[in-house]
C-alpha cells in the first residue's frame, strides 16, 4: 500500500486483503507464474521450431510464431517476478540469468524496411509459384501472404509462404485457374515491416 494512505483508510484496506488473501488464493497466484519446467519447455519448443523455419520448413512458420509468443509470456512473467523480488533481494535477477534490472533508458526502435522489388514467376509444377524480393539486412524471414477474394478485406489474406531467404521463396498449394493477389513483408525479432506492392497472378 502507498505510504501516503492515511491510517484510517489503511486499516479497512489491509483488513479486506487479509481476509481475501488465503493460502488457497496464494497457491492460485503461484500457479499463474512460470516455473522452471514450463519455461524450459517453452524455450525448447521455440528453439526447435525456429531452427526448422531457418532450414526452410515453411510448414513450421505458424508454429514458430505461436512458440515465440508463449516464450515471451513466460519470460515476461519471470522478469516481473524478479523485479518484485529484487525489492527484498537485489541479486535475484542475476541469479535467474536476467542480468541487472537497471533503469531503462528510452530507445527508438529502428523500423523494419518495406520489402521492395517483389516478383513472382510460375513454378515448374502446377499450382506453384516462386517469389523473390530485395535483400534486407537483419531480416529473420520474409512472409508472403495471398488473397483470392477482395484484397481490400484484410480477412481474405492468409500466410502462403515464409523463407529466411529473399530468393526462391516457394509458394505451393495454389488452385490452377484461380486469380491471386500477393504481397510480402520482412520480419525481424523487433517486429514486421510494411507490406510490399501487390502482385496479381493467375495460378496455372
Residue 112 to residue 167: CA distance in whole angstroms: 19
Q: Tell me, what's the pLDDT at 86?
A: 86
Residue-wise pLDDT for 139-189, tens only, equals 888 999 999 989 999 999 999 998 888 999 999 999 999 999 999 999 987
Q: Domains in the chain and their CATH numbers? A: 14-95 (no CATH), 119-202 (2.60.40.10)
CB under 8 Å, gap of 24 or more: what pairs does 105-113 form?
109/190, 109/191, 110/190, 111/193, 112/136, 112/139, 112/185, 112/186, 112/187, 112/188, 112/190, 112/191, 112/192, 112/193, 112/194, 113/186, 113/193
Pick the residue with more confidence: 150 or 106? 150
Those residues whose C-beta lies under 8 Å from the C-beta of residue 50, and which sit 6 or more positions away, are: 64, 67, 68
Summarize pLDDT for 184-201 with one digit per residue, the tens.
999 987 788 999 999 999
User: Over pLDDT 70: what percentage of the chain?
Assistant: 93
Dihedral class, residue 17 (left if φ above 0, else alpha if ψ from -120 to 50, else beta) = alpha
**Residue 140: which region, alpha, beta or left (left: phi > 0; alpha: psi -120 to 50)?**
alpha
Amino acid at each position: 500500500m502507498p505510504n501516503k494512505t492515511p491510517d484510517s483508510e489503511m486499516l479497512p484496506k489491509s483488513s479486506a486483503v487479509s481476509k481475501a488473501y488465503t493460502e488457497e488464493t496464494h497457491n492460485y497466484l503461484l500457479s499463474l507464474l512460470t516455473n522452471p519446467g514450463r519455461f524450459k519447455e517453452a524455450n525448447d519448443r521455440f528453439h526447435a521450431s525456429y531452427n526448422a523455419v531457418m532450414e526452410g520448413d515453411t510448414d513450421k512458420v505458424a508454429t514458430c510464431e505461436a512458440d515465440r509468443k508463449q516464450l515471451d509470456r513466460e519470460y515476461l512473467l519471470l522478469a516481473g517476478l524478479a523485479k518484485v523480488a529484487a525489492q527484498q533481494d537485489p541479486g535475484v535477477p542475476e541469479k535467474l540469468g536476467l542480468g541487472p534490472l537497471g533503469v531503462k533508458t528510452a530507445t527508438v526502435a529502428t523500423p523494419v524496411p518495406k520489402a521492395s522489388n517483389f516478383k513472382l514467376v510460375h513454378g515448374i509444377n502446377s499450382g506453384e509459384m516462386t517469389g523473390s524480393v530485395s535483400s534486407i539486412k537483419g531480416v529473420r524471414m520474409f512472409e508472403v501472404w495471398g488473397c483470392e477474394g477482395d484484397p481490400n478485406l484484410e480477412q481474405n489474406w492468409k500466410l502462403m509462404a515464409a523463407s529466411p531467404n529473399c530468393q526462391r521463396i516457394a509458394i505451393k498449394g495454389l488452385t490452377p485457374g484461380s486469380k491471386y493477389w500477393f504481397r510480402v513483408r520482412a520480419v525481424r525479432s523487433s517486429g514486421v515491416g510494411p507490406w510490399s506492392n501487390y502482385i496479381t497472378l493467375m495460378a496455372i
